[in-house]
């Protein structure tokens, strides 16, 4: 009986922790979550630079892994990969050869010049400045907002 009284508070505490652990806050829809551009403008240049660097490195890694895995899965032999096909796939990776500070400034320019575009994701805006697109802030606004196009 004594042991049961000792463990009762622990059981109550454990049950409370379990309830809190399983609690999920209400979901926020994309329409309610606003606005990445507002958040971007609050960040320091250093934070913006780190964010875009991470986005860039993650994209490159994702393309490399996706191309390699896709070719391995499509190959008759896991050890045999068509190098030409791999180069072709990797060639579709968006290229960003300018200094990262250039892209930080360009993303910032879009959000400052077009305040209503602050609902656009940083990712979507950033990718409009890749080497193969190399758009201006006005062109980004035109493509993503006026035309509503996304890649």
Q: What is the pTM of this model?
A: 0.71
55 contacts 126 by C-beta, under 8 angstroms: yes
Residue pLDDT tens, the chain, 151 long: 444 344 344 333 333 333 333 333 333 334 435 789 999 999 999 999 999 999 999 999 999 999 888 888 777 776 677 788 888 888 889 999 999 999 999 999 999 999 999 999 999 999 999 999 999 999 999 999 988 887 7
């Amino acid at each position: 009986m004594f042991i049961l009284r000792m463990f009762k508070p622990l059981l109550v505490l454990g049950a409370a922790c379990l309830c809190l652990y399983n609690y999920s806050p209400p979901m926020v829809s994309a329409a309610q979550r606003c606005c990445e551009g507002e958040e971007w403008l609050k960040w320091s240049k250093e934070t913006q630079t780190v964010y875009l660097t991470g986005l860039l490195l993650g994209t490159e890694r994702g393309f490399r892994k996706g191309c390699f895995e896709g070719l391995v899965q499509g190959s008759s032999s896991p050890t045999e990969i068509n190098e030409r096909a791999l180069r072709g796939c990797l060639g579709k990776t968006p290229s960003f050869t300018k200094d990262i500070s250039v892209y930080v400034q360009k993303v910032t320019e879009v959000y400052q010049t077009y305040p209503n575009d602050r609902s656009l994701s940083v990712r979507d805006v950033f990718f409009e400045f890749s080497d193969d697109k190399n758009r201006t802030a006005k062109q980004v606004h035109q493509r993503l907002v006026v035309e509503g196009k996304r890649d």
